[in-house]
């Protein structure tokens, strides 16, 4: 039900072939390719190469990690639409990850929020023509900075192809983070997995095993297939990926074990 994978942005400075090798050797199954590092928007050659290398290694493209924020002029935003869609289509990505603006939801005027909603709707409709879903990054300084605004945004956009990603917000106690997961189910598509505490200190995944074991239990009980993508490792060290991937698989299995 839950497929372990990797966000390529985890190793921003490595090339595509090296990232594929690391993911395969670590026993992961899929990769989200980053639009600000490995597959730039509109770069068909980069997208084609990433897809070919991913598939040759027996892995899948999980998603295209774009940095669309739906800000700027209509002309600028639509040009960004085209670049992201072109890259995702060439990748064969089933989903494009996007960001709902770049400010805390409490600070966004109603007019600006409505504009982001309209642009999200337009983008989702255009992506759906190509069979591509849209995933909202669940992150601070966006309209998904807290669960109430996230759920409201999903209602406002009102597109079945638009769901939310999920990850524990920085500095949020485990119990509160898990509450956000429960509330967004079943409207969450993809999970970004990392172990930061108390703020942005990058720990081994095992250091927050209790949080993630319970999270995967919640996801397993809900029953929808999802990707769980490692997004960061301590010190951005590729040599730690095998260990972190092993921990991820064990935590997924522990979550599923709660159903038996």
**CA separation for the pair 258, 16 (Å, rounded):** 37
pLDDT for residue 210 is more than 80: yes
pLDDT averaged over the chain?
Answer: 97
pLDDT greater than 80 at residue 257:
yes
* pLDDT-derived band at 230, boundaries 50, 70, 90: very high
Position 196 scores a pLDDT of: 96
Cβ distance 73 to 85 under 8 Å? no
pLDDT of residue 231: 97
Instruction: List the one residue out of 170, 256, 159 whose CA is nearest residue 215.
Output: 256
CB proximity list for 80: less than 8 A, separation 6 or greater: 41, 68, 72
Q: Which residues pair with 5 in a beta bridge?
A: 30, 229
**Whether the predicted pLDDT of 260 surpasses 80:** no
Q: Give the pLDDT of residue 99.
A: 98
Q: Which stretches of 173-255 are assigned E, i.e. beta strand?
A: 188-193, 226-230
The predicted model gives 134-161 an average pLDDT of 98
Length of the chain: 260
Q: Does pTM top 0.75 for this prediction?
A: yes
pLDDT of residue 63: 98
Cα(212)–Cα(144) distance, rounded to whole angstroms? 21
Q: In the prediction, which pLDDT does 259 show?
A: 81
The per-residue pLDDT for 120 is 98
Q: What percent of the chain has pLDDT over 70?
A: 100
- State the pLDDT at residue 166: 98
Domain extents in the chain: 2-257
- What is the per-residue pLDDT across 102-141, written as a single tens digit (0 to 9) for each? 999 999 999 999 999 999 999 999 999 999 999 999 999 9
C-alpha–C-alpha distance, residues 191 and 222, integer Å: 14
- Interval 59-98: pLDDT, tens: 999 999 999 999 999 999 999 999 999 999 999 999 999 9
User: What is the band of 13 on the pLDDT scale with cuts at 50, 70, 90?
Assistant: very high
Nearest 10 degrees: CA dihedral of 138, 205, 47, 137? Answer: 0
The CATH number of the structural domain formed by 2-257 is 3.20.20.150
182-197: pLDDT as tens digits: 999 999 999 999 999 9
pLDDT digits (tens, 9 = 90+) for 37-51: 999 999 999 999 999
């Amino acid at each position: 039900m839950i497929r372990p994978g990797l966000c390529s942005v985890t190793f921003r400075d490595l090339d595509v072939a090296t990232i594929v090798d690391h993911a395969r050797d670590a026993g992961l199954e899929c990769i989200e390719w980053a639009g600000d590092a490995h597959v730039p928007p509109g770069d068909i050659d980069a997208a084609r190469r990433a897809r070919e290398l991913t598939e040759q290694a027996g892995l899948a493209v999980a998603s295209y990690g774009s940095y669309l924020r739906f800000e700027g002029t209509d002309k600028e935003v639509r040009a960004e639409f085209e670049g992201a869609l072109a890259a995702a289509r060439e990748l064969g990505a089933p989903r494009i990850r996007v960001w709902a603006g770049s400010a805390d939801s409490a600070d966004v005027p109603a007019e600006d929020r409505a504009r982001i909603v309209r642009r999200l709707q337009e983008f989702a409709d255009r992506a759906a023509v190509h069979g591509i879903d849209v995933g909202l990054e669940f992150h601070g300084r966006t309209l998904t900075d807290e669960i109430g605004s996230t759920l409201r945004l999903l209602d406002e956009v009102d597109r079945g192809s638009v769901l939310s990603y999920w990850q524990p917000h920085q500095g949020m106690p485990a119990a509160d983070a898990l509450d956000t997961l429960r509330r967004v189910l079943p409207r969450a598509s993809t999970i970004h997995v990392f172990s930061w505490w108390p703020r942005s200190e990058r720990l081994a995944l095992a250091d927050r095993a209790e949080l993630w074991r319970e999270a995967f239990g919640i996801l397993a009980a809900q029953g929808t297939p999802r990707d769980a993508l490692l997004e960061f490792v301590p010190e951005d060290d590729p040599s730690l990926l095998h260990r972190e991937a092993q921990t991820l698989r064990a935590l997924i299995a522990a979550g599923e074990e709660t159903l038996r």
